[in-house]
Amino acid sequence: MTRIGAKAWVLIADGEKALFLENVGDARDLHLQVVRKETQSNPPSAEQGTDRPGRMSDGPSGHRSALDDTDWHELGKHRFAKDLARDLYRYALDGRFSEIVIVAAPAVLGDLRKELHEEVLSRIVAEIPKTLTGHPVQDIEKLLTTETG
């Protein structure tokens, strides 16, 4: 298991919220401090779309089939992961962290992996597929101590 060293960052994220934390303690006594909070307003798709789903001709028969409506909510989650990846790259280049642990909802973790630059990937010491955005920092410290040994 990997321990979270002093000055290491921890990203806690889901599709709409992210919490950037820094370990101001050491590997044995984890003490996380909030560096930055990020939120995205992402209402359900029904509140975002205004048009009916499109229709497509089935050929010379004159029949038309409905197309699936765009899932704006899901697109917003993908966009949020892309924005987080961009922010992490910028922070890595600025030397703000040398190690990072990413704790994210499984789908968000997958989206992040696709978008992360090598500069960030080389600094990841652990990935944990969990949704912890609704937990207090003290609970996150306990959970990470258990997960990372």
Q: Residue 104: give its domain's CATH number.
A: 3.30.420.60
- Whole-angstrom distance, CA of residue 8 vs CA of residue 143: 16
- Reported as a single tens digit per residue, the pLDDT across 75-122 is 666 788 899 999 999 999 999 999 999 999 999 999 999 999 999 999
Q: Is 64 contained in some domain?
A: no
Q: How many domains does the chain have?
A: 1
- The pLDDT-based confidence of 38 (bands split at 50, 70, 90) is confident
Query: Quick one: pLDDT at residue 47?
Result: 53
Domain that includes residue 77, residue range: 9-41+70-148
Q: Is 55 contained in some domain?
A: no
Q: Is 97 contained in some domain?
A: yes
Q: Are 7 and 23 in contact (CB under 8 A)?
A: yes
Q: Is 3 contained in some domain?
A: no
pLDDT(65) > 70 = no
If we measure between CA atoms, which residue out of 64, 7, 33, 65 comes closest to residue 140?
A: 33
- The pLDDT-based confidence of 128 (bands split at 50, 70, 90) is very high
Crossing angle for the helix pair 72-93 and 106-115, nearest 10 degrees? Answer: 50
- Whole-angstrom distance, CA of residue 149 vs CA of residue 147: 6
Statement: the pTM of the whole predicted model exceeds 0.95:
no
